[in-house]
Structure 1
Amino acid sequence: MSSRDFLKLSRRGALALGAGGLLATGMRSLEAAAETPIESSDQRAPATEFQLGEFKVYALLDGTFVAEHPQDTFGMEQTSEVFEKASHDHFISSNKFRGFFTPVLVNTGDKLVLFDTGRGVLSQPQSGNLLKALATAGIRPADIDVVVLTHMHADHTGGLMQNGIPTFANAKYVTSPIEFNYWEKLGPAANGSARVFAENVLPLKDKFDFIDPGREVVPGITAVEAYGHTPGHMAYLVEVNGRKLMLTADTANHFVWSLAYPDWRVVFDIDKARAAETRRRIFGMIAEERIPFIGYHMPFPAMGFVEAVGEGFRFVPATYQLQLGHEDEQNRPE
Structure 2
Amino acid sequence: MTDLTRRHLAATAIAGLTLPGPAIAQTPRTCEAATLRQVRLGAFTVTTLLDADLMIDGPWPIVGENREASDMAALMRENCLPEARFKPGFTPTLVQTGRQTILFDTGNGDVGFIPRPAGGRLAHLLGQAGLSPEAIDLVVLSHCHTDHIGGLLDGGKRLFPKAGYVVGAREYAFWSDDTRLAAPEAGNEYKSARVFRSHLQPLEERIRFVKPGDSVAPGIKVLAAFGHTPGHLAFHVESEGQRLLIWGDCAHHEIASLARPDWHALFDMDKAAGAATRRTMYNLAATDRILVAGYHTSFPSLGYVIRDGLGYRWIPLTYQLDG
Tell me the CA shift for residue 297 of structure 1.
0.5
On the 8 A contact 1:45/1:130 being kept in 2, the answer is no
The equivalent of 2:172 in structure 1 is 180
- Aligned residue type for 1:305: Y
On the 8 A contact 2:62/2:267 being kept in 1, the answer is yes
Q: 1:141 to 1:188 in 2, by over 3 A?
A: farther
- Aligned residue type for 2:64: G
Listed as ranges, the matches of 1:280-291 within 5 Å are 280-291=279-290
The equivalent of 2:69 in structure 1 is 80
Query: What is the root-mean-square deviation in Å for CA atoms of aligned residues?
Result: 1.5
- SS in structure 1 of the partner of residue 246 of structure 2: strand
Alignment equivalent of 1:107, drawn from 55, 78, 96: 96
**Matched residues in 2 for 1:83 and 1:46: separation?**
28
On the 8 A contact 1:45/1:136 being kept in 2, the answer is no
**Matched residues in 1 for 2:43 and 2:72: separation?**
43
Q: Percent identity?
A: 41
The equivalent of 1:127 in structure 2 is 119
The equivalent of 1:262 in structure 2 is 261
**Matched residues in 2 for 1:107 and 1:154: separation?**
25
Number of residues paired by the alignment?
A: 281
The equivalent of 1:276 in structure 2 is 275
Instruction: Structure 2 unaligned segments of length 5 or more: list them.
Output: 1-32, 184-189
On the 8 A contact 1:292/1:305 being kept in 2, the answer is yes
* Higher deviation after alignment, 180-189 or 236-245: 180-189
With the length of structure 2 as denominator, give the TM-score of the two structures: 0.84
- SS in structure 1 of the partner of residue 103 of structure 2: strand
Tell me the CA shift for residue 163 of structure 1.
3.3
Deviations 1:259-284 (A, max 9, x none): 11100011100001101000001110
Tell me the CA shift for residue 45 of structure 1.
7.2
Alignment equivalent of 1:142, drawn from 134, 138, 153: 134
**Matched residues in 2 for 1:249 and 1:91: separation?**
26
**Matched residues in 1 for 2:254 and 2:58: separation?**
17
Q: Does 1:46 align with 2:35?
A: yes
Q: Does 1:212 align with 2:211?
A: yes
Deviations 1:230-277 (A, max 9, x none): 000001010010110101110111101111110001110000110100
Q: Does 1:161 align with 2:153?
A: yes
On the 8 A contact 2:249/2:296 being kept in 1, the answer is yes
The equivalent of 1:231 in structure 2 is 230
With the length of structure 1 as denominator, give the TM-score of the two structures: 0.81
**Matched residues in 1 for 2:269 and 2:173: separation?**
15
- Aligned residue type for 1:168: F
On the 8 A contact 1:188/1:197 being kept in 2, the answer is no
**Matched residues in 1 for 2:255 and 2:34: separation?**
26
The equivalent of 2:240 in structure 1 is 241
**Matched residues in 2 for 1:72 and 1:242: separation?**
39
Q: Does 1:171 align with 2:199?
A: no
Q: Does 1:66 align with 2:55?
A: yes
**Matched residues in 2 for 1:162 and 1:63: separation?**
15
> Could you say which structure has the greater relative contact order, defined with CA pairs below 8 angstroms and 6 or more residues apart?
1
On the 8 A contact 2:51/2:120 being kept in 1, the answer is yes
- SS in structure 2 of the partner of residue 76 of structure 1: coil
- Point out the structure with max Rg over C-alpha: 2
The equivalent of 1:10 in structure 2 is none
- SS in structure 2 of the partner of residue 168 of structure 1: coil
